[in-house]
Amino acid sequence: MSVAFTFPGQGSQAVGMGRDLAETFPEARAVFEEVDEALGQKLSAVMFDGPEETLTLTANAQPALMAVSIAVMRVLEARGLSLAGKVACVAGHSLGEYSALCAAGSFSLADTARLLRIRGNAMQSAVPVGEGAMAAIIGLEQADVEAVCDEASKGGTCQIANDNGGGQLVISGSRPAVEVAARLATEKGAKRALMLSVSAPFHSALMGPAAEAMRDALSGVAVKAPVVPVIANVRAAPVGNPQEIVDLLVEQVTGQVRWRETVEWFARNDVTTLYEIGSGKVLTGLARRIDKSLTGFAVNTPTDIDSALATLLG
């Protein structure tokens, strides 16, 4: 029986995130200060005090979520937790994969912050606002959603962006095609087909320009082998080779986040406990829906950290 750490993606941000960590732990304050310096912006002030519309901007939300995750990691490590000694593997949802790689030592904190700022800006600018869309399809089998996307693709790009598990698949692409797919999904028997309030069609072929931007950005940073395996989003399998890590991060921009399969990989490989490191508890909830044999804990407050340390080091 073993432990995995998971790292949340966009949507888990909230005004006030990280403030109690900064007030309680000098290691957390140091993380936020380093991220602020790397970005040349007082991002921590936006995280702690808002406004929400500024925090929600993709270029802010991505490095902000990473910062909270790494702040928690640095506190855990300062109190005796060794990732390589206690954790079998790590994984992150979309941008959370960068947090996982930073936690596992593949990227420096400053490089991770800058990469996520570039990623957020590139994803936002890849498609003019309003031309792309995403929709959550609830209660329809993956094969049926794939068929719906194939049919809708006659009118533009439409593909599965996230397989989140628990009967939830997110589709992404050009707005007319996604709207058609949502209607077809309802006709096929989906419980819900909900258009999402997002600023761009993430994880679709329309993100091609952003993928190239990330290829360029990643070519300019040092990448080390992670101290524990990282389960890559687009492969739902472990990766450790630095060049492979880079290639899969580029592929991830336009590819599918295979989160259901990632959690299933955990369960197949003797992982029994998941700790969600960072803001919110979205991944903890998804894990329970995907495989009830897994135990999940969200770790984002000083109390959560104390509880996690008592279990992991006790």
The span from the CA of 36 to the CA of 117, in Å, is 12
Instruction: Please state, in angstroms and rounded to a whole number, the distance separating the CA atoms of residues 154 and 174.
Output: 11
Residue-level pLDDT at 1:
66
> In this predicted structure, what is the pLDDT of residue 19?
98
Q: Quick check: bond before 51 cis, omega within 30?
A: yes
How far is the C-alpha of 31 from the C-alpha of 20, rounded, in Å? Answer: 13
Amino acid letter, residue 9: G
Per-residue model confidence (pLDDT) at position 259: 98
- pLDDT of 281 reads 96
What residues act catalytically?
94, 203
CA torsion sign, 14 to 20 to 22 to 28?
A: negative
199 — pLDDT class (breaks 50, 70, 90):
confident
pLDDT of 294 over the 70 cut: yes
Helix (H, G, I), strand (E, B) or coil at 2: strand
Tokens of 147: 């068929």
Residue 151 and residue 181 in contact, taking contact as beta carbons nearer than 8 Å? yes
Residues 6+ apart with CB under 8 A from 112: 63, 66, 70, 98, 99, 101, 102
Residue entry with tokens 């310096």 = 37
CA distances from 81 to 25, 211, 257, 285, 314 (A): 15, 35, 29, 25, 11
% of the chain residues with pLDDT over 70: 100
Which 3-state string (H, E, C) describes 140-188? CCHHHHHHHHHHHHHHCCEEEEEEEECCEEEEEEEHHHHHHHHHHHHHH
Distances (CA, A) of 177 to 132, 140, 183: 9, 18, 10
What is the pLDDT averaged over residues 281-295? 95
pLDDT band with cut points at 50, 70 and 90 for residue 309: very high
Mean pLDDT score, 239-252:
97
> How many CA atoms within 13 Å lie on the side-chain side of 273?
12
CA distance 49 to 102: 25
* pLDDT (0 to 100) of residue 62: 96
Structure-token pair, residue 56: 């929600």
DSSP 285-308: HHHHHH-TT-EEEEE-SHHHHHHH
Q: Does 209 score more than 80 pLDDT? A: yes
Residue-wise over 67-82: b if at least 16 C-beta within 10 A, else e? Answer: bbbbbbbbbbeeeebe
Rounded Cα distance, 279 and 13, in Å: 6
Q: List, in order of start, the domains of the chain with CATH numbers.
A: 2-126+206-313 (3.40.366.10), 132-198 (3.30.70.250)
Tens digits of residue pLDDT in 58-85:
999 999 999 999 999 999 999 999 999 8
**Amino acid identity, position 90:** V
